[in-house]
Structure 1
Amino acid sequence: MSKKFTTLVDNASRLLPLLPWSNEFELDRFLQPDFTSLDILTFAGSGVPSGINIPNYNEIKQNEGFKNVSLGNVITATLKSTKPNFLNEDDVKLLDKYLVPSFEIIVGLHELLGHGSGKLFRADKDGKLNFDQNKTINPLTGKPVDKWYENGESYDGKFGAISSAYEECRAECVGLYLSLNPDVLTIFGFTDQQEARNAVYVAWLKMVHSGIISLQMYNPTVKKWLQAHSQARYVITRVLLESAKEIVSIDQIEQSPIDGKPDLLINFTKDYGLIETKGRKAIGDFLIKLQTYKSTGDNESAQKMFDYYSAVTDDLEYPYLRFRDIVVDRKKPRRLFVQSSTQIDSDN
C-alpha cells in the first residue's frame, strides 16, 4: 500500500488539474504530504480508523503541508463484513470480492488528494490578497471572486457546525470523481479493464449504500446528524439520487418475501458508461459548488446547500424519514474489533 499511495502522491501534480475547478482554485503548490503506511499490532479503541490525516487546520495545510498515516492492515482486518442489507445477490458478490481494493482507492484519493487539494482565498493583515482578483472567476456566477477570508478568519470558524461534515463530503467526492481515471486505477494495480470497472462500480455502490445506512446516525427528534462522515455520505447519496437518476434508484418494499418486514433495495446501474458520464457530471457539478464556497469563505451559500442535502424528511425525492425507520429496524448489531494482546515470551 505504501508504494501505491506514494505513487499517487508523486502523480498529484498531474491528477489535481483533472478536478472540475479552475487552476486559480487550486493550491499554488501542492505540498507533498509526509506519508507513512503502518501495520499496527493494536489500537486503543473498539473502532479503528483506516487512516489519520493531520493537521485539521486548513491554514496550516495550505502553507506548511500535512501528514498522513495509513494503518494498512486495518482495511483488510475490518472490512470482513456479514451480508449487507439492501443489496441484490449480484451486488453482494461483487462487494465481497472488490470491497477491499475499491476502499483502498477511495481512501487514498480521499486522504491524499481530497484533503490535500483546494485553495482558500484570503487577505493578509495588510489587505493583500493571495490571488489575482481580476483573473479569478467564480464559476457559479461568471463574475470575479468578491468574497474571501479576512485576516484572522479560518475555515472552521466561518463554517462552524458543518465544517467537518462539509470537508469530509468534499474529500469523498474527490475520491469518487478521480476513481474513474484510468491512470489512478493503474496505480492501484488495475490493468484489466473489466476488473478496474468492477472496482469502480463497487466504490460508487458502496458510497450510496453507506449513505443509506448512515440514516441511523440521524436524530429525527432534534433534527441533527450525530456523525460527520455519515452526514457526508448521505449528502452524496442524495446528490446522486437527485441529479443522476439514470445510475441509481431505491425501491421501498412493503413486505419482504423473506421476513415480511419493510425493506429497501438499492438499484445501481451496471452500465459503466452511465457512471462515467451521468455520475461524473453529478459529482463534478457538486464538487465545484463545494470548492467554490469553501475557497471564497461563502459560508451562507454553503450552509443553505448543505442543509438542503442533509435534510431527512418524507417529502423529498424519496421518503428518507421512512427509509430511516427501515434502516434502524434492520440495523445489525454493532461490530467491535477485539484487539490482540501481544507479549514477548521468555525466549524473546
Structure 2
Amino acid sequence: MPPYGLGFPSDTAQSAYYPGESIITQDEILAISRLLEKHSIFPENTRIQKVSRPKAHTFEVLKASVEHTEPFILEIPSLGATMKVKGGDHSEELARICASLSEAKKFAANEKQKYFLSDYIESFRTGDLEVYRNSQRTWIMDKSPRVENIFGFVEPYRDPHGIRAEFEGLVAIMDLEETSKLTKLVESSDIFIKRLPWTGNDENDGKGPFEKALFEAPDFTSIHSLAYCSSIIFPGINLPNYNDIRDEFGFKNVIIANRMSAEGNKAQGSPFIDPAELDSFQRAKYPAYYWWVVLHELFGHGTGKMMAEESEGKFNFDIHDPPVSPLSGKPITTWYKLGQTWTGQFGDLATTLDECRAELVGAYLMDDVELLQVLGYDENSEITAADLTYNVYLQLGIDGLRGLANFNVENRAHFAILKCLLTDSNGCVTVDYDAQSKSLIVRVDRSKIVSHGKPALGRMLLRLHLGRCTADVQSCREYYEELSWVHTEHLAWREIVLAKQEPRWVFVQANTFLRGEEVILKEYAATAKGVIQSWAERQV
C-alpha cells in the first residue's frame, strides 16, 4: 500500500498536529473531530494531544491563540473519555504576528484593509475562527490591491487527517501588465464553464444543477511574492477555502509569478521526454504550465456547487425533486447535512481529491481553440495552440511519473491522472519502459488527444466532481483509491524515477527589516543554510 501522505502518529512516526508521548489513534482523532464539528468548533487552528492516565485518557484540543483561556470540557461517549478545549497554543509567535499586523494597519490603503487586518488580529488573539471567517469576507472585497496578503491557518495538506491547517503568511506586489491579461480570461469565464463535463442541459442557463447559478467573476491577479512563509510554495492560490463564503461572496485567485518562473528554468532536466522532442517541449514548457495553472485556479477551484442543507430543513436544491446524477441517471441520494463540510466529510481524501479535480479541469480545457485564442495562441502564433495542448499532455505523463517519488497530496493526484490516461485513453498517452536501459519515456499520440485523451479526462473529472458536490464519500473513495493504487509494475517505474531525480528546488524567502525609517530587504542564499537562516531571522 503506498503512503498517501504524512503519517498518523505511531511507534515509528510522529505528527506535530498530534503531539505528546501518548499515541493517539485514527479512531480517536475521528471521534474528537466529529464532536468539535457538532459543537461548531472549527478545526483549522487546533491540535490534539492525548494525555494517558492510569484510569482514563484525556484529550486536550490545543487552540492557537495569544490568550491562554480556561479550558471547557466535553464528554466523548464513544471513547469513554473527556476532551478539554483550551487556548494559548503558539501564543508567543502569534503575539509577535499581531504586533506586526498592528503596525501594518497604520499603512492600510483603504478601510477594507483596516477591517480585515483588525479581524486577523482579533482572531489570532482569541483563537476565534468565526472572526477569521469574517476577515475573509472583507478580504475578498479588497479588489486587486497593489500589495496583496494572505495570513492564517489556511491549508490542511500536512495534517494526516486532512482538516487541521498550518499557519502561513504571504505579502506580494501586483504585476499590472500580467493582471490585465488574466482579466480578459475572467471576463469570458462563463462561456468556458458551460463546456465542462457536468454541464450541458437547459437547466441553470446551460450549467446544470451541479454548478452555481451565478459565477461571480473573481478577482484574478498576477503577483510577485516578497515573502511567502509556508511549507508548500504554491504557484497559484484560490481562497478562501470556506465554501459557504465562496458561494455568497466569491473568491480571489492569485498567480505567483516569481514562483511560476521556476517552471521555465531551462536547466531543469526532462529525463522522461524523447530526446528528439526535447527542444520543442522546453520551448512550450513554461507557457503551457503557466496557463494550465491559471485554468486550474480559475475554473478548477472556482467551479462546482455543493448540495447542502444550509439551515434546519432548508436546502440549496429541491429536496423533494433532487437533481439527477449524470453518472447514474437517477436522483442523488447524498448531500452535505447541516454543519457538515467538505474537509470534514472527506478527511484525508479532501485535499488530494480537490487538487486532482482542479488539475483535471485545467487540462480538460487546454485544447479549447476559442479559449486558447483568448490567451493569444492559435495556428499562427510562435508557439501554436496545438503545441501548447500537446505539451500539457506530455506534462501530465511526466508529473504522473514524478508523483511516484513522493506520494504526497499533489503527487498522488498526478499519478491518478496518469493511470486514467494509461487505462482509458485508447493509447493517447503511453509510457515506454525499458528495464535493461532503465528508462521511461512518455509518448503522446497527437491524433488521439481530442478524440480519446480529453474524453478520458472528462470521465474521471465527472466522477470526482459529482462525488465532491454530493458528499458521496464512499464511492468517491473507492474509485480514487483504486485509480491511485501503485501496482508492482509501477514500483519498477519508481526505481527509475528515484534514480533520475534531480536536487529538489529550494525556495528561499527574503525578509524585511526596519532601520530607522528605512526598509531593508535581506535576501539569502538558495541553500539549506539560507532557508534556515531566513526562517530564524523571521522569528516566527
Q: TM-score range by the shorter chain?
A: 0.7 to 0.9
The answer on whether the counterparts of 1:46 and 1:338 sit within 8 Å (CA) in structure 2 is no
Q: Which amino acid aligns with 1:332?
A: E
More strand by share: 2
Q: Supply the RMSD in Å over aligned alpha carbons.
A: 2.2
The answer on whether the counterparts of 1:83 and 1:92 sit within 8 Å (CA) in structure 2 is no
Corresponding position of 2:505: 335
Counterpart CA distance in 1 for 2:232 and 2:313 is: 45
Tell me how far 1:341 sits from its aligned partner.
Answer: 7.9
Name which of 269, 272, 276 aligns with 1:86.
Answer: 272
Q: Which amino acid aligns with 1:296?
A: T
The answer on whether the counterparts of 2:238 and 2:302 sit within 8 Å (CA) in structure 1 is no
The answer on whether the counterparts of 2:263 and 2:286 sit within 8 Å (CA) in structure 1 is no
Give the direction of change, closer, same or farther, for the CA distance of 1:291–1:247 in structure 2 (3 Å limit): same
Instruction: Single out whichever of 140-149 and 164-173 deviates more from structure 2.
Output: 140-149
Corresponding position of 2:90: none
Name which of 304, 309, 312 aligns with 1:126.
Answer: 312
4+ residue stretches of structure 1 with deviation over 2 A? 39-49, 57-60, 76-79, 132-135, 191-194, 337-346
The answer on whether the counterparts of 1:180 and 1:200 sit within 8 Å (CA) in structure 2 is yes
Secondary structure at the aligned position of 1:303 is classed as: helix
Residue 51 in 1 paired to residue 236 in 2?
Answer: yes
Q: Where do residues 273-292 of structure 1 align in structure 2 (5 Å cutoff)?
A: 274-292=448-466
Instruction: Single out whichever of 49-58 and 335-344 deviates more from structure 2.
Output: 335-344
Residue 245 in 1 paired to residue 426 in 2?
Answer: yes
Tell me how far 1:280 sits from its aligned partner.
Answer: 1.1
Q: Where do residues 223-234 of structure 1 align in structure 2 (5 Å cutoff)?
A: 227-234=408-415
The answer on whether the counterparts of 2:357 and 2:464 sit within 8 Å (CA) in structure 1 is yes
Tell me how far 1:186 sits from its aligned partner.
Answer: 1.1
Q: Deviations for 1:44-94, whole angstroms, at most 9, x for unmatched residues?
A: 579643222211222322232111221123322443042211210133212
Corresponding position of 1:162: 349
Q: Which amino acid aligns with 2:307?
A: F
Counterpart CA distance in 2 for 1:143 and 1:34 is: 37
Corresponding position of 2:190: 13
Corresponding position of 2:333: 146
Q: Deviations for 1:136-170, whole angstroms, at most 9, x for unmatched residues?
A: 21111111122111110111111110100001111
Q: Which amino acid aligns with 1:217?
A: N
Counterpart CA distance in 2 for 1:66 and 1:31 is: 9
Q: Which amino acid aligns with 1:286?
A: M
Q: Which amino acid aligns with 2:223?
A: L
Unaligned 5+ segments in structure 2 are 1-177, 200-207, 521-540
Residue 321 in 1 paired to residue 491 in 2?
Answer: yes
Q: Which amino acid aligns with 2:458?
A: G
Corresponding position of 2:401: 212
Corresponding position of 2:111: none
Corresponding position of 2:257: 72
Greater radius of gyration (CA): 2
Secondary structure at the aligned position of 1:59 is classed as: helix
Residue 265 in 1 paired to residue 441 in 2?
Answer: yes
The answer on whether the counterparts of 1:249 and 1:266 sit within 8 Å (CA) in structure 2 is yes
Tell me how far 1:15 sits from its aligned partner.
Answer: 1.0
Give the direction of change, closer, same or farther, for the CA distance of 1:38–1:308 in structure 2 (3 Å limit): same
Counterpart CA distance in 2 for 1:54 and 1:63 is: 13
Corresponding position of 1:224: none
The answer on whether the counterparts of 2:305 and 2:469 sit within 8 Å (CA) in structure 1 is yes
Corresponding position of 1:185: 372
Secondary structure at the aligned position of 1:334 is classed as: coil
Structure with more contact order per residue of length (Cα contacts < 8 Å, sep ≥ 6): 1
Give the direction of change, closer, same or farther, for the CA distance of 1:45–1:128 in structure 2 (3 Å limit): closer
The answer on whether the counterparts of 1:37 and 1:70 sit within 8 Å (CA) in structure 2 is yes
Counterpart CA distance in 1 for 2:377 and 2:396 is: 20
Q: Which amino acid aligns with 1:27?
A: K
Counterpart CA distance in 2 for 1:333 and 1:235 is: 24
Percent sequence identity is 32
Q: Which amino acid aligns with 1:201?
A: Y
Tell me how far 1:342 sits from its aligned partner.
Answer: 8.8
Instruction: Single out whichever of 18-27 and 73-82 deviates more from structure 2.
Output: 73-82
Unaligned 5+ segments in structure 1 are 219-226, 257-261
Q: Deviations for 1:282-338, whole angstroms, at most 9, x for unmatched residues?
A: 011111111111111000011001100111112xxxx11111121112211213245
Counterpart CA distance in 2 for 1:342 and 1:60 is: 33
Q: Which amino acid aligns with 1:231?
A: R
Counterpart CA distance in 1 for 2:333 and 2:428 is: 37
Give the direction of change, closer, same or farther, for the CA distance of 1:141–1:270 in structure 2 (3 Å limit): closer
* TM value normalised by structure 2: 0.57
Q: Deviations for 1:200-232, whole angstroms, at most 9, x for unmatched residues?
A: 1101110111111110013xxxxxxxx211111
Give the direction of change, closer, same or farther, for the CA distance of 1:205–1:138 in structure 2 (3 Å limit): same
Secondary structure at the aligned position of 1:36 is classed as: strand
Give the direction of change, closer, same or farther, for the CA distance of 1:345–1:69 in structure 2 (3 Å limit): closer
The answer on whether the counterparts of 2:429 and 2:453 sit within 8 Å (CA) in structure 1 is no
Tell me how far 1:120 sits from its aligned partner.
Answer: 0.4
Give the direction of change, closer, same or farther, for the CA distance of 1:78–1:104 in structure 2 (3 Å limit): closer
Instruction: Single out whichever of 279-288 and 191-200 deviates more from structure 2.
Output: 191-200
The answer on whether the counterparts of 2:236 and 2:294 sit within 8 Å (CA) in structure 1 is no
Give the direction of change, closer, same or farther, for the CA distance of 1:243–1:189 in structure 2 (3 Å limit): same
Secondary structure at the aligned position of 1:215 is classed as: coil
Instruction: Single out whichever of 287-296 and 37-46 deviates more from structure 2.
Output: 37-46
Corresponding position of 1:222: none
Q: Which amino acid aligns with 1:113?
A: F
